[in-house]
Amino acid sequence: MHFSQRHLGCSAEWPSCALVRFFSATMLLLTALLGLPLAKAQDAPSIDERFKDSLIPLVKAEKFEQASALLSKAHSAYERDRKTEAAFRRLSDEFYRADPALEKPLDAWVAKRANDPFAYLARGTYRIKLGWTSRGGGYAKETSASQFRDMAAWFALAKADLDLAIMKMPRLVVAYCYLIEIDMTEGGLKKRSLYAQALKINPDSFILREFLLHSLRPRWGGSYEEMAQVVSDAKPSYARMPDLKALEGWVDADIGELLRRQGREQEAKTYLVRAVSKGDSWMVNYQYGTLLYDMEDNAGAIDQFNKVISARPGHTYGWRDRARAYRVQMRYPEAMADINRALEIEPKDDYLLAVRGLIEMMGGQYVQALKDYEAAAAINPTEPSYQTRIGQLKLEIDRKNKLGNKGP
């Protein structure tokens, strides 16, 4: 499920927020005047093995049979025990990324294994993410007609793949979930029928209901009444799938998120605390973590982002925003490990490059920071904050070089 970076607190503007600009300039000035060494963002800790990619290395190495075998094994386990649904989702989620290096291997996977449903699922999932990336993270009024056309083109290709995946494996519930996500952007006329078909396959699905609830939020043309009805209809499944109770927090979480974006943080917290009290659902945890970050409760934010990462380690959201919280705590190695993981997932994301550049800059690594800001500016030349940072860093690097040339 995608949502705009505009929904992420200081969000897309975060690297250029006034407070960050002031703090960055102050730290650079203190370093220049006093010669204070800043903590280095190096020797980053390794990422937990549980959260590393299992399928991406195999697909990039064109070991398609092994990749299919892993997905098949996980799906068979899910069919035997519905409580393992999340484990299969974490695997298929690995392809929800806009990594240019994946395009040719995924095409080759489909070409070499034309009857493999997992090949189509993987490429369809990848193409959905390419569609969102083509659109960009702005509001609709800020998005050009060509961006919408590019998104629609990628979504059409994704739908073709997902339809083939379902044709070859009709019980592939996650494919229906991604079709609901696409339909959400096309008026939502098919989401109910897709949901009904998938619910017959797994009446206890947690993830299927998450996707439908996401599509039923008022911002997508739904309503809180419709969302509440989906949650109420799930109650008979609580005995078999107790985690479903967490979905009771979705309406409160969406209200809280809207209040947060209006700057009404204390009111938002009331709703979001009530939402997370129902249980863990990645979107709810993410929204609460973002609020806590805005309220400068970085320890609390990190706790929520830990849960997001555990649920969806193949997405950048949790990694990126936990990196933000670590940076504020001046825990630069941890921040660097997280942002590097996010860039491993989305290597051409200018915002992630800028976040890493800021972490490096705050850690005194000016040369590395300059490279990242220049890379970000090359991808997105319309973002003025990148040029501001580049100018600051060039001045500081020049100052240090001049000091070094003077000798003792």
CA gap 94, 156 in Å, rounded: 21
pLDDT tens digits, one per residue of 59-72: 999 999 999 999 99
Note the pLDDT of residue 77.
96
* pLDDT class of 47 with cuts at 50, 70, 90: confident
What does the DSSP 8-state code read for residue 51? G
In angstroms, rounded to a whole number, what is the distance separating the alpha carbons of residues 253 and 232? 16
Write down the domain spans for the chain: 54-215
Q: Which of 243, 49, 33, 8 is nearest to 138 (CA)?
A: 8
Half-sphere CA count of 65, side-chain side, radius 13 A: 0
CA geometry: angle 212, 214, 216, nearest 5 deg? 70
Q: What is the mean pLDDT of the chain?
A: 89
- Asked whether the CA dihedral 94, 210, 170, 242 is positive or negative, the reply is positive
Residue 223 identity: S
What pLDDT was estimated at residue 93?
94
What number does CATH give the domain 54-215? Answer: 1.25.40
Give pLDDT tens digits for 88-140. 999 999 999 999 999 999 999 999 999 999 999 999 999 999 999 988 877 78
Number of H helices, E strands in the chain: 20, 0
| Listed residue (395, 352, 400, 397) closest to 376, CA to CA | 352
Pull the structure tokens for residue 366.
């000016």
pLDDT in tens, 271-326: 999 999 999 999 999 999 999 999 999 999 999 999 999 999 999 999 999 999 99
Q: Could you give the count of Cα atoms lying within 13 Å of 112 in the half-sphere of its Cβ? A: 13
Torsion of CA 227, 231, 232, 237, to 10 degrees: 160
**pLDDT at residue 408 in the model:** 52
- The number of residues in the chain equals 408
In the prediction, which pLDDT does 334 show?
95
**pLDDT for the residue 49:** 80
